Structure 1
Amino acid sequence: MARFTDLLPSRSDYRGLKQSWRGDVLAGVTVGIVALPLALAFGVSSGAGAEAGLVTAIVAGVVAAIFGGSNVQVSGPTGAMVVVLGPVIAVHGTAALGVVCLLAGAMVLLAGLLRLGRAVTYIPWPVIEGFTLGIAVIIFLQQVPGALGSAGHSTNALIAAGESIAGADWSSAWVPLFLAALVAAIMVAMQRFAPAIPGSIVGIVVATAVVTLGGLDVATIGTLPDALPSPTLPWAAPATWLALLGPAFTVAALAAIESLLSARVAESMSDTGPYHADRELVGQGLASIAAGFFGGMPATGAIARTAVGIRAGARTRVAALVHALMLVVVVYAASGLVATIPLAALSGVLMVTAVKMVPHRSLPVLLTSSRSTAAIFCVTALVTISVDLIYAVGIGILAAAFFALRALARMSGVQRQRIPGPGLAGDERIALFRLDGALFFGAAERVVAGVSDIADVQVVILRMSQVQFLDATGAQVLTDLVTSLERRGITVLIKGIRPEHLRIATRVGVIASLRHDGHLFDHLYEAVVHARAHITSTAACAVTV
């Protein structure tokens, strides 16, 4: 148990609360106001319904705040999760939502217990930004049917948007389109002229008033419960559980990546202490499991809401707890008012949210810094939009690894050098080579090719002190090189092999391929002396013969 104590809540989570509680409460109220329209919109957009989004923000928000690894992280439904859940619900129905919550939550929880939290640091920046851009585009496209009042039939957001545009009845579609545009315009204006006031709330209030006073016939959120649902165990047939393992893994991977990225951003924005990556996974896993019991959606850390809380003065987890409490008040006191909100207004909110997600500042840097960076960014974004989010991350990482290995291979090489100091008779029979960079599977063959073609020499000295990395493939290629040279009667001496490389070189057979154990040297002077002695003795033997 001692190994897992740092993954559990402690009193230190609320250090400084006596001094910061006023700011935490104010920040929580502010985040709650901002989170309300987003929770409703994400629930509707996923196909699970507004209630699911609201329940997720409350239940998952509380659990993640208590058990998570960040002091200021705010969790709940997010746009990225909606992108994944939409096709799942379209295929398996809303009954599958609880099963996905339990499976995905258990996977994220297990990842935290296995201490896999720092794995997100291996995701390159262009992959993250391309992933974010792709999600933003999908979220925007998903709102097109709601903004036009006509549904698309495809599970692909791009195709569904095209279907809804082609099938729209423009004699009536202008009404929801006007409402979405009105909300978007209000949000943009409020952001510019009154940034302290949540523009999404103002936009929704105005749009609802227009619909009510004008008697417009548009789809609304509809009846919401006036209390939180009772917890129930999600049930499905065994075949359904098996069928949902793949989607659940995608949800789990996305939840882990987005939550850890959000926590990392929160750490850079505030001085409330570092986040605990493994504990954050534990908290998010428990949050998704809890949401599943209450009919909610899988949850993640929400970068936008977390940033709002920090800017509003959040210092401890109390801010996230107050944010959830604010939403509880909405459920018990204002569910009737919320039910009259037009769905097109929520589409407008998410369209603006999607545009804000686009990495405007970093976009020029990504596209102009280098060809490889631009390629990784564009490939990740395109695969995210057209195929799948997790595939996009995997392909983006593979592309980044390819370019990194290519750059590393280009930095590797071999140079023939002259023997230092005054030349002696017979030095022309000694070839001195310096190996640079990395001897790994991507560069080993090319590096050693410059040595294997050597002719008219009796001794080859390989300087390996500048080799930065040696893997098994590089060691095997080096073994083959030494063996080949020795078979041709060329004595090979190795100088300056690093201690960290000696073990793998010994195991693979580099050292055994040398003619003698004494052909391994720490200093170049000793290797040169030995090579000259070998040339002299060989010449003497030839004269004697």
Structure 2
Amino acid sequence: MSRLANTRELLPGRADYDLRAPVLRADLLAGLTVGVVALPLALAFGISSGAGAAAGLITAVVAGIVAAVFGGSPVQVSGPTGAMAVVLAPIVAVHGTASVALVSILGGVVVLVAGAARLGRLVGYLPWPVVEGFTLGIACIIFLQQIPAAVGTAAPAGRNPLPAAGAALAGAGGAVVGWTVATVAVVVATMLLLPKLHRGIPASLVAVAVATVAAEVTHAPVPRIGHLPSSLTPALPHFSFGVVHDLAGAVVAVAALAAIESLLSARVAATMTRGGPPVAPTRPDRELVGQGLASIVSGLFGGMPATGAIARTAVNVRSGARTRLAAIVHAVVILAVIYAATGLVSRIPLSALAGVLLVTSLRMVPPAAIREVVRASRSSAITFAVTALVTVAADLILAVEIGLLVAAFFALRHLAHAARARRDTLPGPAADGDEHIAVFRFEGAMFWGASERVAAEIAAAADDVLVVILRLSRLHILDATGAKALGETVEELEARGIAVLLKGVQDHHQHLLTTTGALRAGGHLFTSFDDAAAHARAHVRRVTAAPGQAR
């Protein structure tokens, strides 16, 4: 029964929706708002990825509905995103646009399996500086990718966006450049100025509309979006084991990004809904299942891999969304455009969408967030910078991996520095012979990063003593290396004629300490510090009373 209940947690149900009039009205208005905002972004990200504007629209509709129904966040909005466009661009450059649908399906299967395997909570282990650095790197890549379109030149296929942007600027020239730059300037100015007049105005949509009308009136010679589908029809992509083998690395990258970005977006949405109207909690495992299904179905319709979109999700929450109906409505709004207004949309200048993405990239990481992570600590600043640089210069998944390694290095370094064996005092009034007893209280961790230093400190500080008491009740972390070092320290001290007493050994450390020799004799182990001190004092009196034994 418990297994059946766990399975039901991954599936949609009646409790996902609230059809009371106030909630229904709020969801409908929020969905309409997000749909208007998402339309130009879906077009822009589709083109930026190399898959085309049609793929962006298809993903926004198909994946938007499937992820809303099956996903784990009640307010998450899914579709094409800038990060996924960044990952797909080199894949398209190498394998062609036909590979996108297959990568979407296979990547979706991987994400679906991860959700079924209950791996959704792993995103909680991503450090904050890594997340912020990754986001900044994505923003920089999106910005750089728009420069060729912004200056009216073709982007070199398969090149890193930084040198590609430089080559585009160096090769800019001709009559088209002036029109293109003017179009971008109109979009950027509109998007920056309109929110100052009224925050409720969909600035990106108005900016694209203004630029499109201006281009039509002036007959500007700028490239347009072109043909778009007027309907949605499923079509299986070409499949062969050879193709799958060639795309294996791309599939892993897409799946990893889809899972990470979706779970991060859902986590951000959950924090935004706190303190407002009651919203169902996010289920990370179900979110992965929903995103996996969304990418699979999107690929079957010729779309892109889907992820949760942080910006659109934020708009959804701020617009008052309460249930997943809002995300469904957003997809229906875009679907209406596909069936009713493809002719108008096809006339949108590509440079107008480049302008939208330029502004979007600038807003992805607020300056306040950068200041916070940089000022938090030197280690967080270094982790943040390294993750961002590797994201731009190399690869997104590699950037997360290196960011995690850097964060882990600093965490272990901090843990190692915090690990220590402090010199402690004996309980009760001082007694004769106490100078021959050394007490060390372990704190924090005794692991491979600190064990050698801590053991050396104990051995060096126990020169003129007869008894050493090791207090282990506050030793929270002990690994095999630490236990081995502790056992060797006990052996070394006993070889020098020093009795070693261990107090407060925790139950889960007993096996390690026994196998490494630290607990060979039962008389060495005490549960009470008073008992250990009494035994140590008795031992000192006995030894010093013997002729020739005093030190």
Q: Which runs of 4+ in 1 moved over 6 A?
A: none
**Pair 1:103 & 2:106 matched:** yes
- Among candidates 7, 28, 31, match of residue 28 of structure 1: 31
Query: For 1:278, which of 272, 276, 285 is the aligned residue?
Result: 285
Report Cα offsets for 1:88-108 as digits up to 9, x if no partner: 100110111112111211111
**1:257 aligned onto 2:260:** yes
- In the alignment of these two chains, the number of paired residues is 540
Aligned equivalents of 2:102 and 2:159: distance in 1? 20
Q: In terms of mean alpha carbon deviation, does 14-23 or 358-367 score higher? A: 14-23
Give the Cα–Cα distance (whole angstroms) in 2 for the partners of residues 509 and 336 of structure 1: 80
Find the partner of 2:535 among 525, 530, 533.
530
What per-residue deviation string (whole Å, max 9, x for no partner) do you get for residues 466-517 of structure 1?
22322222111111111222222222110122234334333444312xxx21
Contact 2:83/2:138 (<8 A) preserved: yes
SS class of match (1:431): strand
TM-score normalized with structure 1 length: 0.96
Whether 2:435 is the aligned partner of 1:406: answer no
SS in 2 for 1:149: coil
Counterparts of 1:536 and 1:96, CA distance in 2: 82
The AA in structure 2 aligned to 1:486 is: E
Q: Could you say what secondary structure the match of 2:543 adopts?
A: helix
Match of 2:220 among 213, 216, 223: 216
- Tell me whether 42-51 or 233-242 shows the greater mean CA deviation: 233-242
Q: Which amino acid aligns with 1:77?
A: P
Compared CA separation, residues 415 and 22, structure 1 to 2 (3 A): closer
Between 1:77-86 and 1:391-400, the stretch displaced more is: 391-400
State the secondary structure of the residue aligned to 1:323: helix
Please give the secondary structure, in 2, of the residue aligned with 1:213. Answer: helix
Q: TM-score, normalised by structure 2?
A: 0.95
Q: What's the % identity of the aligned pairs?
A: 54
**Alpha carbons 2:18, 2:24 under 8 Å: kept:** no
Residues 474 and 52 of structure 1, relative CA distance in 2, 3 Å threshold:
same
Matched residue, 1:324: 331
Coordinate RMSD, CA, aligned: 1.6
Aligned mates of 2:516, 2:34 — CA distance in 1: 59
1:206 to 204, 210, 229: 210
1:501 and 2:505 aligned: no
Matched, 1:122 2:125: yes
Q: Which amino acid is 1:517 matched to?
A: G
Counterpart of 1:394?
401
Q: Where in structure 2 are the equivalents of 1:89-488 lying within 5 Å?
A: 89-153=92-156, 154-228=158-232, 230-270=233-273, 271-453=278-460, 454-488=462-496
User: What's the offset of the Cα at 1:350?
Assistant: 0.5
CA distance in 2, matches of 1:299, 1:415: 53
Shift of 1:426: 3.1
Structure 1: how far apart are the matches of 2:333 and 2:468? 76
Query: CA separation of 1:348/1:428 partners in 2, compared to 1, >3 Å: closer, same or farther?
Result: same
Counterparts of 2:346 and 2:548, CA distance in 1: 105
Q: Give, as a single letter, the amino acid of the residue that structure 1 aligns with 2:116.
A: L
| Superposed CA offset, 1:350-388 (max 9, x none) | 101101102322111222222111111111111111111
Quick check: 89-98 or 1-10, which moved more?
A: 1-10
Per-residue deviation, residues 33-61 of structure 1 (Å, max 9, x unmatched): 11110000000011000000000000000
Structure 1, unaligned runs of 5 or more: none
Tell me, yes or no, if the aligned pair for 2:146 and 2:357 is still in contact at 8 Å: yes
Q: Which of 89, 92, 103 is the aligned partner of 1:86? A: 89
**Structure 1's 446 and 170: CA in aligned 2 closer, same or farther, altered over 3 A?**
farther
